[in-house]
Chains A and B, each alone.
Chain A
Amino acid sequence: MRVLLSGNEAIARGAYEYGISVATAYPGTPSTEILENMVNYKDNIYCEWAPNEKVAMEVAIGASLGGARALVAMKHVGLNVASDPFLTLSYTGVKGGLVIVSADDPGMHSSQNEQDNRHYARMAKVPMLEPSDSQEAKDYVGIALEISEVFDAPVLLRTTTRVSHTKTVVRLSEREKIPAPSEFERAPGKYVMVPANARMRHIAVEERLERLRQYAEETDINRIEWRDKKVGVITSGISYQYVREAMPDASILKLGMTYPLAENLIRKFANGVETLYVVEELDPFLEEQIKAMGINVIGKEKLPILYEFDQSIIREKLADEKIELKNFLGETQLPPRPPVLCPGCPHRGVFYILKKLKLVVMGDIGCYSLGVAPPLAALDSTVCMGASVGMTFGAELALKENIKGKIVGVIGDSTFIHSGITGLIDIVYNKGASTIIILDNRTTGMTGHQDNPGTGRTLKGERTHQLDLKEVVRAVGIKNVRVIDPYNLEETEKVITEEINKDEPSVIITNRPCVLIVKDEKQNKYRVDAKLCKNCGMCYMVGCSAIYREDNKANIDEIFCAGCGVCAQVCRFNAIKKVGDMDDQ
């Protein structure tokens, strides 16, 4: 059967067809839909959201050593979190085939950096496959499992946003029957990485790499497409599609396996063409290795190291075809339309108060990162998940009395569970006095509302123990634990002011769920009383997209208004009222 699947859907389907029985992940764009779609096969595949990528990786390793075929998926920066088990996993090898999906994000459509995770394959000395469409994404899951089991290695399946999120035509097959493992096969020399064993295993890793190099020469996922021999292009992944589109006559060496490289095949191709290019997004990963083989190849001299490619970049840089653009807009400036906090978002009130109090705000990653945008503009840092907690403490150590009462850390519920807890333990243990605000909207909002240990539901939709953040925080040793309603600005301001001035650490937890999840239909909408509105502009400062200016008055779009009432609380003329209350007048 032919169906249209995204790369992520195809990987989930591949997991099903090729007999995977355990799949784990922590969400992260552009990888999230892999596990979201894996649930469709939950009768055959156990699937879970882990609290972070390291745990996800470890569960998958355990499943593999237990004898099952397993898959773990994450976004590129997720592999940083999971890199510790990953790098030693290379030494232990596997029992059941193990596929690690790293979804990279060239162009940073929704990421904090643009790291090129192909380097991880080289660092860990594990094989890496790169599909260029959804059919390959599915097929490569099968090939990866085979390589994994034959070579006793975890396999990195590296995608990029344009593979993960592009739908292309895929042919489906049935599920392979893989017998379930019956007992744990002990192999301490292989699995217990104490130095004496690890020294032996490093030898095995190097030998494995040699055998994999041979495999790379033979596998048909590395293939030469001979066309005009004047120009040859070595490429892989989505770049292959752009090259085919932009240079239809060029000969191509398409690498489905990009680590380790098929040196002889590359030499043969290089010898067969007059001019040789390598087309790869981000770092010169292939280029540097090919140059190290002594082969003359043109890459980053002509093509950018930044952001993602498309066919027009290839046409312009390699085929010298430039397109003429007209200035249709003349002098007209188009107002931008960036993503914004939704109307009714519970994060809004907190940021409004943080801005009002002029605090330094060590931020984190989640919807609340949008607190950086004007008019709220109340965020001073975003580095990686969990960083807000340690960074708040660190800034206090640097600035001492000078920052006392002037700084907070802000972190989401999923992010706190992911990696904020350890930072908090540090603050308590080392006698800090930081104030951390946990924006508990009961979901992993930014990535599209996945469940997490705080929501009380699993990926499979089952009810489970709901992690109580208050209890966790108290158990860590925080004595000042406050719960606030972020829709109530007065309370929010009062509690934050009290806590930042204490000489002990504090945690403030907000209690409103994400508006996109819990729709409170009873929540009254708000309206502006034009008679009272003085057009002072205060309500615009809450940065709500339901509020706009018309006829020199503030207006509220009732379709978008979620009834949080934050704007009504900032209005100095009582011009914003609940719809019902106004009708009574």
Chain B
Amino acid sequence: MSISRRRFLGWMGAAGMGVTLGRSARAAGPKTFPGYPESVGVLFDSTLCIGCRRCEAACNKVNHLPPPERPFDDLTVLEEPRRTRWDSYMVINKYYPNGRENPPAYGRMGCNHCKEPACASACFVRAFAKEPTGAVTYDETVCVGCRYCMIACPFEIPTYEYHKVLAPRISKCTLCQPRLLKGLLPGCVEACPTEALTFGKREDLIRSAHQRFRMHPGRYMEHIYGEHEMGGTNWLYLSGVPFAEIGKREDLGTRAAPEFTAGALAAVPLVVGLWPVLLTGIYAISRRKEKMADEERTAAVADAVAKTQAASDEKLSAAMEKAKKEKESAVEGAVKKALEEAEKARKAEMAEAEKTETPEAGAGEKAGKDSEEGA
């Protein structure tokens, strides 16, 4: 047994697992989506961001969002960590990766317009669409408000209008899809006073990032956040400090969200196809068992009946015999009795005849018999 038995068992186990769990998502699920080749995106260069919040202001304006509680030029807002909300599609956060005495770094939080969006794959009314431009858009006219998209998004981007009673909506960045279609830049990119936000084709942005790495050795982490994260996103990020320090999770992996559910989805037709067959099979077996048990029971019953029948037959004939005998003896008895009675009668007659001759004697005899009986 030189093919290690353990390894063989390992393969078997792995194969079994793949089947039962649908873990082989790649095989079962959709092929990796390469993304729309011409799609656009934005490159955020944290090393160039000065935290002026003009992008936030522009976003608020072009999307007709309600005015903020504190004005956009109030930079003290940055001291508190913030997240996207129903009234702000994106926020800039300020971090102190090297302590408060050293210069801060800025991070952006907003929809990354994933190549294979978790939100879109999770929505059960297909309210989200990955547009050929690269934007992930939302259709509020079909949204039910289940908020599964919010559960699904690994970047925790979609937000909900919890305060609205009648028609609460999901709200999130649209990559300014309406403006893109008109040939305009996204609001934030247009407003940025530095080169922190660069708009372009995703492929060009990646090339530009590598160029920056080459031109400024030591300045960057030499990783483009979003190139592969969660299957790749159309927003890309550069940073001078580890990405975790500017609010980006580094443990998301490179598998696109739909891959996680592909196995479970692939199992559906399997269940629908196999279950009826299996269940009917089990039903047939249990029916057969029952039938066999039934047959056995009927057989046993028949047997028992036959036996009792035989027994009772015997008894019956015995009884008949007995009855016959009884009858016979009864007849005999009756005949005997009749004969006896006849005899008696004859004797009585004779006695009568004698009595008429000697009446005293006859009466005396009779009286004696009576007294005997009475005793």
Chain B associates with chain A: no
Interface residues of B (CB under 8 A from A): none
Interface residues of A (CB under 8 A from B): none
